[in-house]
Amino acid sequence: MNAYKNVMKQIHASEEFKIKMQNEMMEFQQKEKRVFMKKVRISVGSLVACAVIAVVASLVNVNNDTTIDLTDRIEVDHAAPAASAVVNIEGKITEVGDDGLSFTLDNGMEVVVTDETKLGIDGPTAPPKEEQFFEPTFRVGNLIGGFTEDTTTEPVTAAVIYTNWNFEKPIR
């Protein structure tokens, strides 16, 4: 403000101009103070809001040591499958034994089907037997998908044969 007054003394201006300029300078300084105070208020308000949220969040979580029992809200369908079927017998039949129940796959695995071997897919979500990809006999060219308990024995005994199907020449 002093610099302004010094400059104004050197300039020969009308009194009216001097008063107008002085008033505008005062208004500008007041506006600057208001803007600064507004920024300070917003910053302090934001800081206080964050502190309140932190305190409330910590108070809410203090007494939650009890376990929540969700059994009333969760519905379990015991008939639904729990997991995917495990397949460790897989390939295309390259040779069928004389008995019709033993065969060799294209990966070299020899498989024996016994009376205990389950054939086809069963369970509550399984398609009807007539819609499954399963032929009544094992023949060369059929694709096999199944499961055995022990893959180290030679030949392996199949626990389940899920698929026995020839897509090129199917038999029903």
| 77 falls within a domain | no
Domain total in the chain: 2
- Are 159 and 93 within one domain? yes
Do 49 and 101 share a domain, yes or no?
Answer: no
Report the percent of the chain where pLDDT is more than 90. 31
DSSP 129: G
Same domain, 93 and 56: no
Residue type, 133: F
pLDDT digits (tens, 9 = 90+) for 114-165: 999 999 888 777 888 888 888 889 999 999 999 999 888 999 999 999 999 8
Task: Please tell me the distance from the alpha carbon of residue 170 to that of residue 6, in angstroms, as a whole number.
Answer: 108
The answer on 95 and 57 residing in a single domain is: no
* 101/160 same-domain check: yes
Identify which of 83, 89, 143 has the alpha carbon closest to the alpha carbon of residue 113.
89
Kindly report the pTM of this predicted structure. Answer: 0.50
CATH of the domain at 128: 2.40.50
**What are the tens digits of pLDDT across the range 30-45?**
777 777 778 888 888 8
Q: Residue 52's domain spans which residues?
A: 2-62
Q: Is pLDDT at 55 greater than 80 in this prediction? A: yes
56 and 99, same domain (yes or no): no
Q: Supply the DSSP symbol for 112.
A: E
| Distances from the Cα of 5 to the Cα of 15, 29, 31, 137, angstroms | 13, 16, 21, 113
List the one residue out of 64, 86, 91, 63 whose CA is nearest residue 165. Answer: 91
**Residue 170, in any domain of the structure:** no
